[in-house]
Amino acid sequence: MTDTTADTATAAGHPKAGSLYQVSERTRRRHAAEQRFRMMGLAAVTFSILALLGLMTSILSNGLSSFHQTYVTMEVFLDPAKLDKKGNRNPEDIAKITTFTIQPLIQAALAETMEARGIAVEGVNAKKAVELISKEAPAQLRHFVLDNPEVIGQSVTFDLLASGRIDGYYKGRVSMESAALDRNISPEQLVLADQLKAAGILESRFNWSFFTAPDASDTRPEAAGLGVAILGSAYMMLIVLVLALPIGVAASIYLEEFAPQNRWTDMIEVNIANLAAVPSIVFGILGLAIFINFVGLPQSAPIVGGLVLTLMTLPTIIIATRAALKAVPPSINDAALGIGASKMQAIFHHVLPLAAPGILTGTIIGLAQALGETAPLLLIGMVAFVREYPGAPPEGFFDPASALPVQVYNWTQRGDPAFFERASGAIIVLLVFLVIMNAVAILLRRRFERRW
């Protein structure tokens, strides 16, 4: 452009072109805004990671100790004069023995063990010494004798749970100072525990019973386990999988492929989207009103919990399945129809297999969400204290049971700090199950994924 042309363009109102190497003020503001947005995004991600690390640190620091338990190992003489007074080994007569009958046997065995090892603490007699052993121990011996009546009259080595205070002493919850103010333990008993540990009678090891034992009373936190809760959660997830997956997939196929587009289908779609956002406690109220009060199903049973969680999971599965069906290219369906396949054949033989990764992912995510729900299970009575294991399916679906999130809730409501440790351990177990389920969803998606 010549000088004359440039002067003419300026006179006509057009701005004079600047240099490409000169950054304008507007560009500087745009770059600054972009940099601020990046910094805010980085700050948000950093804050989220720090919050997650803080949460996991708190859970792990409080819960990892629940996977180790203190045990007292010693020989107990199963005195026939106490356990089988008639001497006939009749199971019905032996079944009449109580834990009060067995407690003196444990006390005598501990006294003999201490005397043989030369262990003694001033101010701690045999009665005080046996308080180091859990109140669950007599019940443990009773079950062993009932299952093995032929051992009566013999000396048998048992691994007995130490009391919650002794276990807490070796996990840092109990100290000499706190024991001086605690009516359930004394500093002298802690000194005795140290001597028993030095002699190899008392030791800490991995707590397998945490995964297999049922819940325990408020006075026996060391005996509390997740056995019934894990089994109850497994039963409920089985019910949800068997009911929610076929119903959700069938509803999705109908709405996506067969249903006419009218006001009724529009209303159904809106309601499905709304149900996915309904608070879970509302489904608990629905289950209480229909399945328990109207149908008459038993409270605290996996069948009721499974039905409630099925209703809660169905919208998630339907939405995920419809999205998976829409992701399949229409040309797949058109090609199947073009070679003479029926509508049903095109969907079930071609479209549905290609949509399987998305369907499986949505299903497992829905199951993971249902596994962690607590509020609806509380309303249907699964908060009850359950000691007995449910039977095998299908009868076991109607037996009383608990669930992992409900067990966590129960333990946090109890006063003994040992139950708080158990609750944190149960949260770790629940998180492991959730991570496994999400990992399975990712693997299945990659395994069956197809690219076009």
Q: What is the pLDDT of residues 395-450, one digit of tens each?
A: 889 998 999 999 999 998 888 888 989 999 999 999 998 888 888 878 877 777 66
Residue 354 pLDDT class (50, 70, 90 cuts): confident
**C-alpha span between 206 and 369 (Å, rounded):** 30
pLDDT mean across residues, the chain: 86
- 133 backbone dihedrals φ, ψ, rounded to 5°: -100, 145
Residues present in the chain in total: 452
Which 3 state secondary structure label does DSSP give 373?
coil
Residue 9: predicted pLDDT: 45
Which one has a higher pLDDT value, 116 or 450? Answer: 116
Q: 293: burial class by Cβ within 10 Å (0-12, 13-18, 19+)?
A: exposed
Domains in the chain (CATH in brackets) are 2-63 (no CATH), 68-217 (no CATH), 227-448 (1.10.3720.10)
pLDDT digit string (tens) for 79-100?
Answer: 888 888 777 777 787 888 888 8
* Cα 312 versus chain centre, distance: 18
pLDDT single digits (tens) 256-297: 888 888 888 888 888 888 888 888 888 889 888 999 999 888
User: Before 91, cis peptide (omega within 30)?
Assistant: no
- The tokens describing 184, both together, are 């359930």
E-assigned strand segments in 232-382: none
Q: Please compute the mean of the pLDDT values over residues 230-244 and round it to a whole number.
A: 92
Q: pLDDT confidence of 188, banded at 50, 70, 90?
A: very high
The 10s digit of each residue's pLDDT in 296-311 is 888 888 999 999 999 9
Q: What is the pTM of this model?
A: 0.83
Distance of alpha carbon 240 from alpha carbon 110, whole angstroms: 50
Q: Is the pLDDT of residue 109 over 50?
A: yes
Cβ contacts of 285 within 8 Å, gap of 6 or more: 379
* Residue indicated by tokens 């993971």: 368
Share of the chain above pLDDT 90, in %: 35
157 — phi, psi (to 5°)? Answer: -85, 130
